[in-house]
Chain A
Amino acid sequence: MATNAAQAPSGRLIERVTELAIQAFLWAFRIVVVLIVVVGSILTLAQGRYSAAVWVDLAITGAALGSIYALVALGYTMVYGILRMINFAHGEVFMAGMFAGYFTAVALNNMGVLNANPLASIVSIVVMILVAAALSTVVSLIVERIAYRPLRNAPRLVPLISAIGASFVLQYTFRGFFGPGVYAYPPITILDGKAPIPFIDIQWAEVLVIGSAIAMMIGLYLFVMRSKTGTAIRAVSEDQSAAALMGIDVNRTIVTTFAIGAALAGAAGVLYAQLFHQFNYFVGFFPGLKAFTAAVLGGIGNIPGAMLGGLFLGEIEMIGPVLFLTGLGVPAANQLKDVIAFTMLVLVLVFRPQGLLGERVTRNRA
Chain B
Amino acid sequence: MKRFIRVGALGVAALLALGACSGGAAAPSDELGVITVPAGDPIHIAYWGVLSGADSTLGEDSKRGVEIAIDDKDGKLLDHDISLTQEDGLCTPEGGATAAQKLAADTTIVGLIGSACSDETVGGIKALTDAGLTTISPSNTRPALTAEDRDATYAGYLRTAHSDAFQGKAVAEWAFNEKGVKKAATIHDGSAYAEALQQVFADEFTALGGEIVAQEAVSKGQTDMSPALTTIAAAQPELLYFPVFVAEGGFIAQQALETPGLESVIRIGSDGMFTPDFVTAAGAGAEGMFLSSPNFSAFQEGYASFLEKHQAKYGEAPVSAFHAHAYDATNMLFDAIEKVAVKNSDGSLFIPKKALRDAIFATKDFQGLTGVLSCSPTGDCGAPLIAVYEITAREAGGEWPPEAPIWPTE
Contact = CB atoms under 8 A, between A and B. Distances in A.
Identify which of A65, A181, A337 gathers the most chain B CB atoms within 10 Å of its CB: A181
Interface stretch (B131-139, B170-178, B214-222): B214-222
B60 A58 contact: no
Nearest to A47: B234
B250 interface: yes
A58 B227 contact: yes
Interface string B273-290: 000010011011000000
Given A57-B226, A61-B224, A184 B219 contact: no
B231 A335 contact: no
Nearest to A338: B219
B224 A58 contact: yes
Given A175-B56, A180-B60, A332-B228, A337 B319 contact: no
Interface in B238-265: 246-247, 250, 260
Contacts of B319: 179-182
B228 A182 contact: no
Contacts of A155: none
A287 to B, nearest CB: 8
Contacts of B284: 192
Nearest to B255: A57
B223 A334 contact: no
B4 interface: no
A111 B349 CA distance: 57
Given A184-B277, A184-B281, A282 B54 contact: yes
B230 A50 contact: yes
B222 A334 contact: yes
A342 to B, nearest CB: 14
Nearest to B59: A180
B53 interface: yes
Identify which of B216, B218, B226, B316 gathers the most chain A CB atoms within 10 Å of its CB: B226
B369 to A, nearest CB: 20
A29 interface: no
Interface residues of B, number: 37
Contacts of A57: 224, 226
A318 B224 contact: yes
A169 B239 CA distance: 45
Contacts of B377: none
A280 B217 contact: no
Given A331-B217, A334-B218, A179 B190 contact: no
A337 B228 contact: no
A335 B226 contact: no
B247 A276 contact: yes
A338 B54 CA distance: 17
Contacts of A338: 219
A130 B207 CA distance: 57
Contacts of A58: 224, 226-227
A334 B227 contact: yes
A333 interface: yes
Contacts of B217: 331-332, 334-335
A276 B56 contact: no
A203 to B, nearest CB: 11
A321 interface: yes
A181 B221 contact: no
24 contacts: A51-B260, A58-B224, A175-B56, A179-B314, A180-B51, A180-B57, A182-B319, A184-B281, A187-B280, A187-B283, A192-B283, A275-B223, A276-B223, A277-B280, A278-B250, A278-B281, A280-B57, A322-B227, A326-B231, A332-B215, A334-B216, A334-B219, A334-B228, A337-B219
Given A282-B56, A335-B217, 10 more contacts: A49-B231, A54-B227, A61-B226, A179-B315, A182-B277, A276-B223, A286-B221, A334-B216, A334-B222, A334-B227
10 shortest interchain CB distances as A-B pairs: A332-B217, A181-B319, A61-B224, A180-B56, A322-B227, A180-B60, A335-B217, A282-B54, A335-B219, A278-B247
